């Protein structure tokens, strides 16, 4: 039901009259560097703001043991011994109508590189009608706006007839334990409004996050045979590609059916890492040369010594005999698909067979040169 025009006017006038104080309070609130684990001063300020307005204040330390068996619990890895939730309650003598929860979080994400800020992140500044500072938008301005909205109702001569719980929580950026603690504490209402910055639109749901740890074991080897090892960073990339990401708006089971999700074993990840190492990493240079499968140029990897394609293939064929050629064919079968995707089928096939013919001719010419000069092949030295 729409409020009478006179009531709306009185509320709007009350908002306008207190707006400068609202901005000043928002600036003071946003100036507190309440990153994860350091939210205490923000909660102290909110406690004082609620107490000064006559609300019934409930300020308690979060006990993880009270939450760990609840649905929605997310494990934390940092010290939460000082974690607190603050709730201010308006409780009318006789309740009528529907109850309401107003909830805002005071924790903020890290400031990041300071040299990327025009002004210090925790020195909020107003420029061109906008307030800049870490956490000013997400979501300290919304929390203070909700608090001053209640002030405006009171200044307009109105008093809510149902319970209102004003909640200041932590851990919204990570686990959501602050909001969970209010549920564990027993706070309930007919409606909950969270004044997050959602483009001034009401939304009923929002995307979430899944936090997980991925442990990948590498295979250490000497630098002499670096390409034979497995790099955990490479393997992690493969695992993450299998796990996601999922298109926005799709649930995991819709984006990638369960029957199509391959199981990951460390050995398989290591094998993929070895392939990626050979095909992508500078440390695979020796193996690339040995297999003679890659047209490695002198400018491809900067300081890494480079070879022209004909030199690579020629070296490979001069280095070994039929055993090496067979091994070379095996390498082509194993890694050729990825290289073919990079260069295309026809160019790759043309390059490979032209290189083989060129290498064979170069080998014959080298053998003839050795015979005519009387120099025996330096087989042992090459090996």
Which residue numbers are catalytic? 107, 172
Report phi then psi at 274, rounded to 5.
-65, -40
Where helices occur in the chain by DSSP H, the ranges are 5-17, 19-30, 40-52, 64-67, 141-155, 177-184, 232-243, 252-255, 266-280, 285-291, 309-319, 322-343, 345-373, 379-382
245 near 252, Cβ under 8 Å?
no
HEC readout, 253-309: HHHCCHHHCCCCCHHHHHHHHHHHHHHHCHHHHHHHHHHCCCCCCCCCCCCCCCCCH
Question: How far apart are alpha carbons 283 and 221 in whole angstroms?
Answer: 12
Question: How far apart are alpha carbons 260 and 253 in whole angstroms?
Answer: 10
Distance of CA 68 to the CA centre of its chain: 24
């Amino acid at each position: 039901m729409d409020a009478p025009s006179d009531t709306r006017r009185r509320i709007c006038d009350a908002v306008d009259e207190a707006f400068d104080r609202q901005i000043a309070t928002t600036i003071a609130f946003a100036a507190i560097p309440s990153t994860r684990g350091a939210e205490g001063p923000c909660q102290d300020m909110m406690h004082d703001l609620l107490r000064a307005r006559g609300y019934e204040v409930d300020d308690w330390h979060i006990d993880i043991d009270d939450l760990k068996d609840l649905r929605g619990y997310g494990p934390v890895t940092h010290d939460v011994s000082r974690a607190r939730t603050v709730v201010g309650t308006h409780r009318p003598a006789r309740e009528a109508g529907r109850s309401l929860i107003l909830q805002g979080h005071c924790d903020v994400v890290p400031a990041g590189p300071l040299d990327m800020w025009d002004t210090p992140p925790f020195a909020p500044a107003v420029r061109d009608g906008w307030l800049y500072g870490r956490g000013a938008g997400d979501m300290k301005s919304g929390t203070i706006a909700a608090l001053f909205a209640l002030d405006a109702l009171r200044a307009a001569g109105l008093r809510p007839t149902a319970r209102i719980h004003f909640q200041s929580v932590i851990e919204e950026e990570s686990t959501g334990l602050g909001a969970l603690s209010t549920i564990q504490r027993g706070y309930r209402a007919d409606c909950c409004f969270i004044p997050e910055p959602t483009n001034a639109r009401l939304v009923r749901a929002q995307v979430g996050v899944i936090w997980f740890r991925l442990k990948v074991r590498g295979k250490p080897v000497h630098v002499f045979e670096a390409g034979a090892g497995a790099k955990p960073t490479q393997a992690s990339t493969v695992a993450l590609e299998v796990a996601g990401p999922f298109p926005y708006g799709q649930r995991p089971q819709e984006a990638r059916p369960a029957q199509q999700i391959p199981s990951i074993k460390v050995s398989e990840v290591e094998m993929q890492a070895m392939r990626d190492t050979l095909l992508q990493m500078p440390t695979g240079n020796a193996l690339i040369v040995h297999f003679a499968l890659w047209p490695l140029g002198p400018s491809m990897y900067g300081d890494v010594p480079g070879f022209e394609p004909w030199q690579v293939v020629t070296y490979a064929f001069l280095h070994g005999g039929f055993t090496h050629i067979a091994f070379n064919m095996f390498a082509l079968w194993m890694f050729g698909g990825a290289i073919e995707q990079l260069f295309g089928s026809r160019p790759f096939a043309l390059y490979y067979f032209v290189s083989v013919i060129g290498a064979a001719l170069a080998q014959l010419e080298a053998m003839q040169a050795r015979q005519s000069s009387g120099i025996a092949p330096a087989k042992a030295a090459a090996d």
